[in-house]
Amino acid sequence: MRTIARGRTEKANTNRADWANIKQMLPFVWAYKGRVMLALSCLMLSKLAMVGIPVILKYIVDILDTDAGAPVAAVPITLLLAYGFLRFSNAGFNELRDALFARVRYHAMNSLSVSTLKHLHRLSLRFHLERNTGAISRDLERGAQSISSILNYLVFNIIPTSAEFLLVAGILYSQYDSHFAIIIFFTVLLYVGFTLAVTEWRMHYRFDMNAYDSTANGRAMDSLMNYETVKYFNNEEHEISRYRKTMLLWEEAAVKSQSTMSLLNFGQGAIIAIGVTGIMYLAAEGVANKSLSLGDLVLINTMMLQLFLPLNFLGIIYRALKYALADMDMIIRLLQKPVEIVDKENASTLKLDQATVEFRQVSFNYDDNRTILSEINFKVEDGKKLAIVGPSGAGKSTIARLLFRFYDVNHGKILVGGKNIADITQSSLRQVIGIVPQDTVLFNDTIFYNIQYARPQASEAEVIKAAKSADIHDFIQNLPEGYETVVGERGLKLSGGEKQRVAIARVLLKDPPILVFDEATSSLDSRSEKNILSELSSISRNKTTLVIAHRLSTIVDADHIIVLDKGQVKEQGSHQQLIELNGTYADLWAIQQKKKKTEKAIEALSSAVELSNE
């Protein structure tokens, strides 16, 4: 039995190096170091003002208490103005800090998101074939938010509370009996120790919540992206059941997380209550025996409120910070995934004099258990057409992937223009090659955008010309919105043949010296196939062309044909030579010709029936 955890996102790492992760995030923050320093300065000024408020309040109370029944006017105007100024300063510097730090925080989120997407695009096809899109999108969302949360907690909560604690403790220690400072110190120490211990104990519930959340999101996205398949097999309830099972596990983890948080909150509240009660007992006793004034009582009480209220909130902040660090760790580990295909330090830019393609003793396997290609040798001369045929699983499409350098070969060399593709930049390599893939996936944008994607700077006239050459212009013109028609996610609003013609138009617009057609007409009807084959033949006349084909009738004009079987070249030659060889190719040709005759006979019979009915 497969477990429910199968296919979910990576589980959060409980042995994280949080400080190392934070250090890796610093470059995203330090781009605005001037703003960071100004924001911290505003923070310190606001805390000085905050601590100064109860000090001024003490003197006001003492003056009023000394002369009982005196009017408010008896209080020196400077004290009242100072009290109002400190209140204003505290609020003003807090808002200024927020305004200054907004650019830092959102720039860091922006930079991290862009860097992560850039890294994802640099990762190999191997990673993307194994990824769970929904889970990764959720990790990206939480990861980008985590850096904002961490900065928020550190700059707006932890650092201010720490600074306030030191200022309050310093005032109480210097102005009053040491017992006040000792009680505060031990209360805070016990509070922090209890918070750390219980939070670490209950963190695994949060890790499980994140993992199940990403898994559920991944499964939901997967079922929606495969909407038609779900409907074909009537498996809506199956998909809902899988989603529900994961969400039930998420619910259990969430309930346990909330229950243990309530326990933590109760313990924190009890510790603060005991500490505040001890402080107020000493203060009240001091007022009773005249060693402290009423103003001192007000000062101590106000400082306790200012200290313990944010300290109580600090428990929540610490938990949220731990969660944010767990979320950030997912992004860090994603950024640390090694890039499999990298350019050499001295990689050169490919400049083609002769658009030749050559495979020399190329062997390749995705893993050690299965060999895909074994010692493949062939060369396509400049302007010539080479076709690769063979049964499914023979390794035909892998050749196209290796040519684009989505993978590096295990043995041998691939040369383009006489240069080993391992020695040239990937960008310049892919610039000179165009492909019409077997499975065409389009962006959820307009038809115009999808064709222009091959050359974003292309004009409207060039896009329309490419569409006409691909025999799709008339179809587009008949759509209500024409070229501005949105094709839907993965191009689902278009048929397979329509998507393939958009892909052909796209490669025509790119106009590269080397063309790859990977089953380029497999989704087309006979009429469209005939029209497009004629056009493809015309545009590829002076280009180096590599055709991966299933229908042998589409490649009879190839200069050279290679027959692959189980990753090895079994036969090669021209169409006529291979027919005369009377081997695998001849057998495939005979089967397809017989099938073609049957299809024509059925078509003729259908036409005759229609005529007789008329």
Mean pLDDT, contiguous 10-residue spans, the chain (614 residues): 39 60 76 82 85 81 65 68 87 87 83 83 77 69 79 77 77 78 82 82 80 84 79 84 91 87 84 84 83 81 74 70 79 82 89 90 85 90 90 83 91 93 92 85 88 91 90 89 85 79 88 86 64 69 86 85 89 91 88 75 62 57
* Residue given tokens 């030749």 in the structure block: 356
Q: CA 551: distance to chain centroid?
A: 39
Question: What six digits make up the tokens of 468?
Answer: 């006409």
- Residue 461: the pLDDT is 94
Q: Which residue has the tokens 């060889």?
A: 581
**What is the residue extent of each domain of the chain?**
18-335, 357-582
Taking the C-alpha atoms of residue 361 and residue 153, their distance in angstroms, rounded to an integer, is 58
Residue 607: what pLDDT?
60
Report the relative pairing of strands 560-565 and 411-416 from DSSP bridges.
unpaired
Q: Are 153 and 317 in contact (CB under 8 A)?
A: yes
**472 class by beta-carbon count within 10 Å (0-12 exposed, 13-18 middle, 19+ buried):** buried
**Is-contact 371 544, C-beta < 8 A?**
no
- For residues 1 and 274, what is the distance between their CA atoms, to the nearest angstrom? 53
The residues, ordered by sequence, that sit 6+ positions from 564 with a Cβ below 8 Å of its Cβ are 388, 389, 390, 394, 395, 396, 570
End-to-end CA distance of the chain: 60
Q: How far apart, in whole angstroms, are the C-alpha atoms of residue 24 and residue 605?
A: 72
- Who's near 502: CB < 8 A, 6+ residues apart? 440, 442, 447, 450, 451, 470, 472, 487, 491, 494
CB of 394 closer than 8 Å to CB of 564: yes
DSSP for 127-158 reads HHHH--HHHHHHHHHHHHHHHHHHHHHIIIII
Determine if residue 486 is left, alpha or beta; phi over 0 gives left, psi from -120 to 50 gives alpha, anything else beta: beta
In angstroms, rounded to a whole number, what is the distance separating the alpha carbons of residues 204 and 221? Answer: 26
C-alpha span between 272 and 310 (Å, rounded): 11
| 419-420 sheet: strands from edge to edge | 373-380, 357-364, 411-416, 419-420
Q: Directed axis angle between helix 526-539 and helix 496-510, to 10°?
A: 10
Yes or no: say if 572 and 378 are a contact pair by the CB < 8 Å rule: yes
Nearest to 447 by CA among 466, 431, 429: 466
In b/e form, how buried is each residue of 276-301, taking b as 16+ CB within 10 angstroms? bebbeebbeebbeeeebbebbbbbbb
Q: What are the CA-CA distances from residue 108 to residues 27, 117, 411 (Å)?
A: 9, 14, 43
Tokens of 472: 């799709």
Q: Which CATH superfamily is domain 357-582 in?
A: P-loop containing nucleotide triphosphate hydrolases (3.40.50.300)
Contact 352, 417 (CB under 8 A): yes
* Beta carbons within 8 Å of 381's beta carbon, 6+ residues apart: 356, 544, 559
Full-model pTM: 0.67
Contact between residue 385 and residue 556 where contact means Cβ atoms under 8 Å apart: no
Give dist(CA 125, CA 339) in Å, integer: 10
CA distance 314 to 531: 71
As a whole number of angstroms, the distance between CA 436 and CA 545 comes to 12
489: amino acid identity, one letter: E
The two domains 18-335 and 357-582 share their CATH topology (first three levels equal) = no
CB 16 within 8 A of CB 226: no
* Cα–Cα distance measured from residue 106 to residue 445, given in angstroms and rounded to the nearest whole number: 28
Q: How many CA atoms lie within 13 A of 353 on its CB side?
A: 2
Residue written as tokens 């059925």? 602
Contact in structure between 358 and 365 (CB atoms under 8 Å): no
Alpha carbons 148 and 597: distance in angstroms, whole number: 67
Q: Does domain 18-335 have CATH number 1.20.1560.10?
A: yes
Angle between helices 178-225 and 294-335 (to 10 degrees): 30
DSSP labels, 189-234: HHHHHHHHHHHHHHHHHHHHHHHHHHHHHHHHHHHHHTHHHHHHTT
Distance CA 447, CA 484 (A): 6
Task: Give the pair of three-digit tokens for residue 399.
Answer: 């050749």
d(CA 603, CA 606): 5
Residues 6+ apart with CB under 8 A from 194: 267, 268, 271
Residue 359's pLDDT is 94
User: What is the distance between the alpha carbons of residues 434 and 578, in angstroms, rounded to a whole number?
Assistant: 28
Stated as kind and residue range, the H or E segment containing 443 is none
Which pLDDT does position 43 carry in this prediction? Answer: 83
So what's the pLDDT on residue 411?
Answer: 93
In this structure, the number of other CB atoms found within 10 A of the CB of residue 44 comes to 15
Residue 573 carries which side chain, given as an amino acid letter? Answer: G
Beta strands 433-436 and 514-518 are parallel
